[in-house]
Structure 1
Amino acid sequence: MRTITTDRLLLRSWRDDDADFLLDLESRWEVVRFLGAHPTTMRTREDALASIARRRAIDDPIHGIWAVTTAAAGRLVGNLLLKPIPLSVGEPSGGPNDVEIGWHLHPDAWGHGYATEAAAAVLDDAFSRGLAKVLAVTDPDNHASQAVCRRLGMTHLGRTTRYYDSPNELFEKLPG
């Protein structure tokens, strides 16, 4: 997987030695509470290693799941993903898969603009590689992620049940 850099951040592949950080990150309810229709906290280091293996298994020229680190110190701060969105049961597929962008950061990294900066870099990279649009699917109560979507210039498309078998607020970003 390619590395993406910004002035302050480095987005890279997840490594096995990131397992303790990932376990700490995803064992926190305040971090995972908005992830998917049925969020759960991570419980063991083995779960973290299995999750890292799944993240590294994405072999695509555009999609990926990156570890977000500070560029200067290499300190892990969170996760950024760009991947096809699973449709809700019963939704017609028709056409190419919709692609979503998403993020979750460690509470120690909240409020520093890292999510916006990392997402903007991944969007720029994806659009430069020909991706036609990107969606963000946010829990209706996840006002922090919705604020990031707005800072990224994403258009709010309203509430939908098309993805993740649950109601979500949908945002869209087009190139340009």
Structure 2
Amino acid sequence: MTFALVNDTIEHLAPWMEFAANGYTEADAVAYLALCDEHWDSRRNFNYAIVAPDGRVVGSTGIMTERPEGGVEIGYWLHRDYTGQGIATKASRAQIEAAWLMGATHVIIVHDSNNHRSGAVPARLGFTEVERRVGVEPPTAVKTGTKVVWRLDRK
């Protein structure tokens, strides 16, 4: 499922998602799923499928626990046909609740400054922009190379 889903929207993902930038093979999908299992077992990262209201798997979201000071990072991506419907926001809200249950003190979201759709999610969820990391990556035709960091503290 991962292979077909990613390849069906590869042009949409490639500018933003490193794993899709140079194509995505069945071997890549198998390796990703094995890594997900390894990360779950070690409690390092927790990756989930995003399922749309129509029952279709339309993306992925994850909690990355290896962050300083008791925080976690969440990330997400969606198939191009399912953007702009609030699905990433709903999935992120669920990830935030899971982070609080894990005992996280804060949640961060990081995206390229040109990825406005990705940045709309933390803005809708009450995050605060706390940092811009200039020159983290080399710029591309789409990416600026500047990472925007958003933070939400546990209340």
TM-score by length of 1: 0.71
Cα distance change on mapping 1:58 and 1:161 into 2, 3 Å: farther
Deviations 1:75-117 (A, max 9, x none): 111010110468xxxxxxxx55752111110001111100000
Counterpart for residue 38 of structure 2: 57
Amino acid paired to 1:74: G
Amino acid paired to 1:170: V
Cα distance change on mapping 1:54 and 1:23 into 2, 3 Å: farther
Q: Name the one with the larger helix percent.
A: 2
In percent, how many aligned pairs have the same letter?
26
CA RMSD of the aligned region, Å? 2.8
Cα distance change on mapping 1:162 and 1:124 into 2, 3 Å: farther
2:104 corresponds, among 126, 131, 135, to 131
**Deviation, structure 1 residue 61:** 5.4
CA distance in structure 2 between the aligned counterparts of 1:158 and 1:105, rounded to whole angstroms: 25
**Deviation, structure 1 residue 19:** 3.3
Give the secondary-structure state (helix, strand or coil) at the position aligned to 1:29: helix
Counterpart for residue 3 of structure 1: none
Structure 2: gaps (5+ residues): 139-144
Give the secondary-structure state (helix, strand or coil) at the position aligned to 1:54: helix
CA distance in structure 1 between the aligned counterparts of 2:84 and 2:59, rounded to whole angstroms: 13
**Deviation, structure 1 residue 162:** 9.7
Counterpart for residue 20 of structure 1: 4
Higher relative contact order (CA 8 A, sep 6+): 1
